């Protein structure tokens, strides 16, 4: 029987523990770099998956992140960042991790096989939703059952796995194969496979944000400044995009309660939050065309 790539012995495994610590560290870091490079071959599938995610959020759909073990931690990390980074409302994101999201250092392995609660957790799925399922092996029962239920409900399924021709990928509408090499520590998929999954998830959510108009010249423009650090970042973004001074940027952010896109438009000349909201509505949330509309307005003499 062929051993899965994620379970094979690494080419440098023999005598690994006998190497000087720095030499072993070199093997580890090179393994991570090689794993990261494996994501490139999945770029077309990642781009397609990102569009599906954006389509769900443009409509009435939600994003479901479903995984177990290390893959579940990667999925939860990406999902939890969507609000602070791109302003995606919490109500549009669901995280389902086998055994629940850990609150201690304990993460029992047997929960990967426990699929009993999934039918209830996914009972309200619809064809407007997108379900992201992750499994390094591509055979973990928990995300596989989620993919089956999602397909049954007509939801879009994104499958991410590190082994080819596996059930999870075969069930997915968008199959993202991350062909990472054997782990330096055999079977420890929190390492190379986890690194590749983290990169793929970052790409999916960032490209999704691009479709939604939440990125402008490499800046996150749909964030909400709700603490000192974010207010400073938002002020800097307003100044960078509009050329306004800090006082003007602060006033614009005050008028919008920290919402960045309308603050940018106010600093650029929009007459208050109502006009800024109207411009964004007409541009479907994209800042660039809204700014162009402001620039094209006849100048009052």
Shared-domain flag, residues 250 and 197: no
The active-site residue, picked from 90, 112, 271, 284, is 112
CB contact at 8 A, 180 and 196: yes
Instruction: Examine residue 301 and state whether it is found in any structural domain, yes or no.
Output: no
Domain boundary among 212, 245, 268: 212
The answer on 230 and 100 residing in a single domain is no
Instruction: Note whether 28 and 130 are same-domain residues.
Output: yes
Q: Is residue 1 included in any domain, yes or no?
A: no
Which CATH number do you get for residue 226?
1.10.8.1080
Tell me: do 142 and 238 sit in the same domain: no
CB 189 within 8 A of CB 73: no
Q: Are residues 67 and 198 in the same domain?
A: yes
Distance CA 134, CA 69 (A): 10
Q: Which of 212, 228, 252 is the last residue of a domain?
A: 212
Residue 11 covered by a domain: yes
Catalytic residue among 26, 81, 271, 284: 81
The H or E element containing residue 137 is: none
pLDDT of residue 151: 97
- Whole-prediction pTM: 0.91
Structural contact between residues 202 and 78, judged by C-beta atoms closer than 8 angstroms: yes
Q: Which of 212, 234, 255 is the last residue of a domain?
A: 212
Question: Is there a domain that residue 284 lies in?
Answer: yes
Q: Same structural domain for residues 132 and 250?
A: no
- Residues in CB range of 93: below 8 A, 6 or more apart: 62, 63, 65, 79, 82, 83
Distance (Å, rounded) from C-alpha 54 to C-alpha 56? 5
Q: Residue 1: pLDDT above 50?
A: no
Instruction: Please count the other Cβ atoms lying within 10 Å of the Cβ belonging to residue 59.
Output: 12
Q: Is residue 241 located within the same domain as residue 132?
A: no
Q: Which domain holds residue 227?
A: 215-296
Same-domain check for residues 140 and 175 = yes
Buried b (16+ CB within 10 A) or exposed e, 222-247: bbbbeeeebbebbbebbbebbebeee
Length of the chain: 301
Considering the domain architecture, whether residues 261 and 198 belong to the same structural domain is answered as: no
Higher pLDDT, 189 or 88: 88
* Each residue's pLDDT tens digit, 133-168: 999 999 999 999 999 999 999 999 999 999 999 999
- Determine whether 7 is an active site residue: no
Q: How many domains does the chain have?
A: 2
Per the domain annotation, does 159 fall within a domain? yes
Element (H, E) at 26: helix 21-37
Report yes or no on 253 lying in a domain. yes
88 in any annotated domain:
yes
Counting DSSP H helices and E strands in the chain, the numbers are 12, 7
123 and 198 housed in the same domain? yes
- Residue 289 pLDDT exceeds 80: yes
| Whole-angstrom distance, CA of residue 278 vs CA of residue 270 | 10
Indicate whether 144 belongs to any domain: yes
Per residue in 36-95, pLDDT (tens digit) is 999 999 999 999 999 999 999 999 999 999 999 999 999 999 999 999 999 999 999 999
Q: Do residue 53 and residue 169 come from a single domain?
A: yes
Catalytic residue check, 81: yes
User: What's the CATH code of the domain at 31?
Assistant: 3.40.50.10490
Domain shared by 30 and 19, yes or no:
yes
């Amino acid at each position: 029987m062929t051993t899965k790539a994620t379970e094979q012995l690494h080419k440098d495994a023999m005598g690994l523990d006998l190497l000087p610590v720095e030499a072993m560290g070199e093997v580890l870091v090179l393994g991570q770099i090689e794993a990261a490079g494996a994501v490139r071959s999945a770029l077309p599938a990642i781009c397609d998956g990102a569009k599906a995610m954006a389509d769900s959020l443009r409509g009435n759909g939600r994003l479901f992140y479903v995984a177990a073990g290390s893959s579940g931690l990667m999925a939860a990390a990406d999902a939890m960042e969507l609000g602070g980074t791109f302003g995606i409302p919490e109500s549009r994101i669901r995280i389902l991790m086998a055994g629940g999201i850990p609150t201690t250092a304990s993460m029992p392995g047997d929960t990967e096989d426990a699929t009993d609660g999934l039918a209830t957790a996914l009972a309200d799925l619809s064809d407007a939703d997108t379900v992201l399922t992750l499994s390094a092996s591509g055979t973990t029962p928990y995300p596989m059952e989620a993919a089956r239920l999602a397909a049954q409900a007509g939801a879009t399924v994104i499958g991410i796995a590190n082994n080819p021709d596996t059930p999870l990928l075969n069930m997915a509408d968008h199959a993202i194969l991350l062909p990472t090499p054997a782990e330096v520590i055999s079977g420890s998929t929190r390492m190379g496979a986890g690194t590749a999954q983290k990169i793929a998830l970052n790409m999916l959510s960032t490209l999704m944000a691009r479709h939604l108009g939440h990125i402008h010249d490499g800046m996150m423009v749909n964030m909400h400044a709700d603490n000192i650090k974010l207010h400073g970042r938002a002020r800097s973004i307003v100044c960078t995009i509009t050329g306004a001074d800090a006082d003007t940027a602060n006033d614009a952010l005050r008028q919008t309660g920290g919402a960045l896109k309308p603050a940018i438009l106010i600093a650029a000349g929009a007459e208050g939050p109502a006009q800024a909201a109207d411009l964004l509505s007409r541009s479907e949330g994209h800042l660039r065309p809204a700014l162009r509309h402001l620039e094209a307005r006849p100048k009052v003499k």
